Chain A
Amino acid sequence: AQSVTQPDIHITVSEGASLELRCNYSYGATPYLFWYVQSPGQGLQLLLKYFSGDTLVQGIKGFEAEFKRSQSSFNLRKPSVHWSDAAEYFCAVAPQNTGFQKLVFGTGTRLLVSP
């Protein structure tokens, strides 16, 4: 069965420091990979996605993620965190097809940003 693991439930980072959020997946083949961000009381916003090609993917708000097939990982990074980045971050996978895609989400990582 497909699954997504985000091992860190909470992470606290100082403003201006770098950030890495971990994501590992279990899937029969290479899926589509996503990172979504959710601010309190809001819906999910797509940060970035990986379909194929270059394994380093750039997203919005200065985020990037690197796909490592050998490690089944898709970790999210940001070189300098801003206070407004405090939110819940979800990694998700979906099968590679252009029809209906069932997103499988990880349990999320809550990012806290300290002054």
Chain B
Amino acid sequence: DAMVIQNPRYQVTQFGKPVTLSCSQTLNHNVMYWYQQKSSQAPKLLFHYYDKDFNNEADTPDNFQSRRPNTSFCFLDIRSPGLGDAAMYLCATSRAGMGSYQPQHFGDGTRLSIL
């Protein structure tokens, strides 16, 4: 089945140690999103790629970066994780510009813990 796959499902890192989360998709969608979801809260959009164009949300900390080397893959880099960055990170994809709305498809997320 076509899907959005996030690796790893669980990631533990040390305070201040860079970490990279991975997302891949087989849907051939041109938009990929990264959300942060803290415990008992709604997902919060960090940024998205529309094709190769990177779009950052205004309140996303500089500590968070993203890369999209090709259509299928997108990475979330946290340069110096702090305790407040412990959260579930969700990747989503959608196809835009097709003349009709396409809803977002979500992966199962990566739960990040900071020691």
- Number of contacting residues on A, CB 8 A? 24
A98 to B107, CA, bound (A): 22
B-binding segment of A22-30, A43-51, A64-72, A78-86:
A43-51
Interface SS majority for chain A: loop
Instruction: Give the chain A neighbours of B98 by CB distance below 8 A.
Output: 98
A43, B103: Cβ atoms closer than 8 Å? no
B109, A103: Cβ atoms closer than 8 Å? no
A100, B96: Cβ atoms closer than 8 Å? yes
Given contacts A42-B109, A44-B43, A100-B96, contact A51 B101 (CB under 8 A): yes
In B87-115, which residues have CB < 8 Å from any A CB?
90, 92, 94, 96-109, 111
A43, B106: Cβ atoms closer than 8 Å? yes
Digit string of A73-115 for contact with B (CB within 8 Å is 1, else 0)? 0000000000000000010000011111111011110000000
Given contacts A90-B43, A103-B43, A108-B41, 6 further A-B contacts (CB under 8 A): A43-B6, A44-B43, A96-B101, A98-B97, A99-B50, A99-B96
B2 contacts chain A at the CB level, 8 A cutoff: no
